Structure 1
Amino acid sequence: SADSTHPGAMGGRQGSHELPLRLLVPTQFVGAIIGKEGLTIKNITKQTQSKVDIHRKENMGASEKAITIHSTPDGCSHACKMILEVMEKEAADTKTADEVPLKILAHNSLVGRLIGKEGRNLKKMEQDTGTKITISPLQDLTLYNQERTIMIRGGVEECCNAEVEIMKKLREAYENDVAALNLQASLIPGLNLSALGISSGLPVLSPAGAPHRGSSHHAAYNPFLVRPLPAPPPQEVVYLFIPTQAVGALIGKKGQHIKELARYAGASIKIAPSDNPDAPERMVIITGLPEAQFKAQGRIFGKLKEDNFFNAKEEVKLEAHIKVPAAAAGRVIGKGGKTVNELQNLTSAEVIVPRDQTPDENDEVFVKIIGHFFASQTAQRKIREIIQQVKHQEQKSQHGAATASQHTK
C-alpha cells in the first residue's frame, strides 16, 4: 500500500493515460522528503500540482523506496527537481553522501527505445545534458519486477534536464504502445485485457522480495479495459515451437523458470518429449484460458529475445499450432482462400491450413500460425472466433431441425 499525499490541485490535462514519473530514492531521505507533519511533501504537491505517492511501507528494510508522481510532464519535472533539492540538502546537512544520483524507474518494454540503436539516444542525451546515464542490467529483472533503474549522475540542474529528455522518450514509447494495444484490443474480440493485469500495471517486486499487486502506483502500464467476458471461455491448447537450444533456458535451474512462468500465467506449460534429438525445434504445449495464453506466450517470446536466441534486430517469430474442428477448417480458409488471406493481411501472421490432414480422434485438424507475438495472438483469437461462430450455427441448425421434426409429428 502506498502512502498517498493529498493530490494538490492536479493538472487538468492529466488523465490515467499519462505515464507517471517513478523515482527510486534512498530510504534515509524519505523522512526529509515528507517533512515534519508532512509539510515538505504537501508543499511539493501544491506547488507542482501533482499527486505524489511515497511507497515507504513497502519492501521493509530495503535501502531504497519508490516514489510515484502523477501530473503533467511539467508538473512531474518540477516535483522531481524539488525532491532532488531536498535530498541534496539532506545529504549535505547529514554528510551522508557526496552526491545523490537521480534514479528513474521505467518499464523494461520501454527502455530499448530510450537507449536507441547502438545506444545512440542515450549517448546524445548524455552529451546534451552533461550527465552520465547508466541503466540496470536485464539480469536484474524478475517475473514480478519488470522495471529497470535509470541512474543519472550530475548536478541538480543537469539531472533535471536529463529527466525531461528521458521521460519525453519514455512517454512517446508508452503512448505508441497504448495506441498499438488499443488497436489490438479492437482487433482481438473477447480478449479481456483487464484479466491480463494489463490495466493495473504489471506487478512490481521490491528488492526485498514479495510481489505486491494491484496498487495504483505500479508503472501503470497499458491503461485501458475491455468489457469482461460474459461466461468463462473453455481452456485452450496451443502448441508453440521454440528453438531446441532455448529449452534449457525456458525450463531454468531445476525447472524453476517454467514453474514460475506457469504460476504467473495461470496456465499449464509442458515441453513435449522429442522423437529426434537433432530436431531444430521443440514443441511447448500451453493449456489455459485466453488470458493465460496471452501471458504465457508473451513471456516465452520475451524470454527468447532477452536471452538472444534471436538476432537483436529481428522481431521474434515463432510457429504456433492450434487444433480446429475439421468441419470449421473450411471456414478458416474461406471461399477461394478469402478468409485466410484476410486473416494474414489483418494480423501480419502467416496462417496455413495444411491440406489432406486426417482428422484426429476428436475430429480436429491443425492450423499453423507463424508470426511475432501480437500477430500470432490476433490470429489465434480470430480463428477461435470463427470456430465459435461455426459451433453456434451448428447448435442453431440442430435446434431448428429438432423443432421442425416436432412440428411434423
Structure 2
Amino acid sequence: MPDNTNSATAQSSKSTDEQKDTKDGKDAPPVAQSQISMRCLIVTQDASIIIGKGGSHVNEIREKSGAKVAVSESIPGNPERILNVSGPLDAVSKAFGLIVRRINDEPFDVPSVPGSRAVTIKFMIPNSRMGSVIGRQGTKIKEIQDASGARLNASEGMLPGSTERVLSVAGVADAIHIATYYIGNILIEANERAPHSSTHSSYRPSSSASSSSSSRPRPSSYSTPYTPHSHGPPAQLQEQKIYIPNDLVGCIIGKGGSKINELRHLSVCNIKIMEPGAQNNAGGPENERLVVITGQPANIQMAVSMLYHRLEQEKQKQLSQTGTSSASHVR
C-alpha cells in the first residue's frame, strides 16, 4: 500500500501556508466581494411590482442574486420609497439587473435585446462620494456609460434634510447590472481610502405636506421636469429643436402617449412635438415635424440620443418588414 503520510504532511503544510498567506493579506478577497449597501428611490408602483404578492417577487430576487433586498414602508403623500440592496458587490449589481427585469416583466435568464425597455434607477449617493463617481471632467461617468451602455446623470442639489445626491442611471437590465457594478466598485474604493465622516446624513422620505420648500434641492436631474406652465424656468434650462419625419412621429408618441411620456421621464426633459403647420414649425421641411426639448444640457443630450435611437429602431423595423414583404412576393 502507498504511504500517505508524506502526502498528508504536505497537505497540512500547504493548508498552514494558505492560512498564513490569508492572514498576511496575500489572498485577501477582491474588491468585487466587498460588502456594500446601495440605496435608491423607487416609485410606489414599481415597489409593489418588485415585492410581489406575499413577497414572492422580492424573495425570488434575493434567492437568485444572493443579495439582501428591502423596501421601505410607503409614506402617505410621498410617491417614492427607498429600495436598499446589500451584500457582496457582484450580488448587489446582479440584484439591480433582476429588479429591472421584474419591473419590465422580462425573463430573468434572457439577455437584454435592443427592444428592451429602459428603466431609470435613482441611486442615492453621499455628496462626499459623488465626485469619485463623476471623475475629473466626467471621465468616470463616461467610462461607466461606455462600458455599460447606460446613461448616467448626477443631480446638483442634495435631497431634503440629507447630504445625499441622486445619481440617475437609465438603461436596460444588463446595462443597469454593469453600471451598478462599476458604481459600487468606485464607492467601495472611495470608502477604503476615506471612511464616511460622522457628518453624513441619509435621506429619509417624508410626506409632501411636511416638506418645506426651503429644504428642497436646487433644480437638478432629481427635480420635476420643467413645463411651460411653470412660473419662470429654473436656472440653467436650455431649449433644443430637432426635426423628425412625419411618418415616424407615431413611434415617438406611442399608444396613448406612452412612448413620449417614457422619454420625458427618463431624460427629465419637457418634450413637445409641434402640430403640422404650427407657427413654431414655420420654415421647417414639409414632411417633418418640429420637436422642442427643454431641460438641462446633459438631460437634453440624453433626450436627443434616445429620440434618435428610437427613430433608428423604427427605421430598421420598417426595412425588415419591407424585406419580408418583398421576399413573400417573389415566392
The TM-score bracket by the shorter chain reads 0.3 to 0.5
Higher-RCO chain (CA-CA 8 Å, sequence separation at least 6):
2
Give the TM-score taking structure 2 as reference length: 0.46
